[in-house]
Structure 1
Amino acid sequence: MAHHTEHTGHHEGAVKRIWIVFAILSAVTIVEVALGIIRPHFLTHTYFLNMRLLNWVFIVLTLYKAYYIAWAFMHLEHESKGLRRSIVWTGIFLISYLIFILLTEGDYIYEVYKNGFMAWDF
């Protein structure tokens, strides 16, 4: 009988943990969707590093969700500090590099279309 009670307690803790993760991820997603629908004036007309502040908010919230999903569902919270850092910092580096490349190339393409097409002689 005592074993059954111990197992039930662990099950209830796991269910509680799943609901907490669900609530946090849902709240972040609701904030993202609400910002996408409302598009506050101060976020769409304020620029940081040549990109709208609203886009930066979306990037940060998406990175937070990705990190939290890895933390909760890949069980990183129970791993050693070195393993957690190697996984998280690798992801942060790769995502930051991708954002840098997308912004750099996107700005170049924008300038080409804005100033007219350029002919390249190879």
Structure 2
Amino acid sequence: MEQENKQQVVIPADKAKIRHIWTVTLYLFLITAAEFVIAFNLDASIIKTIIFIVMTIVKAYYIMSEFMHLGHETKGLKLSILLPLIFVVWLIGA
């Protein structure tokens, strides 16, 4: 019986993509750290709530855009996700 000699070709890692992922992870870490600082240093107020909502939306954008790969999709798919989200936020505000 003849043995097959299979060789596996390893493609070099794309360093630009890896650097971009680490940059996004750093942004998420910094936003989370800022949230902790604000949570423990500011008294409860409407401004604190608004800051948390904005920071959460920014973090959600980065997570969906980079780690769920929606940042590179077509405009129609982005709008199909964004418009219902805006409607839900409007309902919560109402």
TM-score bracket for the superposition, by shorter chain length: 0.7 to 0.9
1:33 matched to 2:27? The reply is no
What secondary structure sits across from 2:71 in the alignment? helix
Matched residue SS, 2:37: helix
Q: Which runs of 5+ in 2 are unaligned?
A: 1-8
Higher helix proportion, which one? 1
Q: Which amino acid aligns with 1:8?
A: P
Q: CA deviation at 1:8?
A: 1.8
CA contact (8 A) 1:67 1:88 kept: no
C-alpha separation in 2, matches of 1:15 and 1:23: 12
TM-score by length of 2: 0.76
TM-score (norm 1): 0.61
Question: 1:47 corresponds to which residue?
Answer: none
2:23 equivalent to 1:16? no
Which residue is equivalent to 2:4? none
Deviating beyond 4 angstroms after TM superposition, the runs of 4 or more aligned structure 1 residues are: none
| Structure 1 residue 36: Cα displacement | 0.5
Counterpart of 1:69? Answer: 63
State the Cα RMSD in Å. 2.1
Matched pairs, number: 86
Greater RCO structure (CA 8 Å; 6+ sep): 2
User: 1:87 maps to which residue?
Assistant: 81
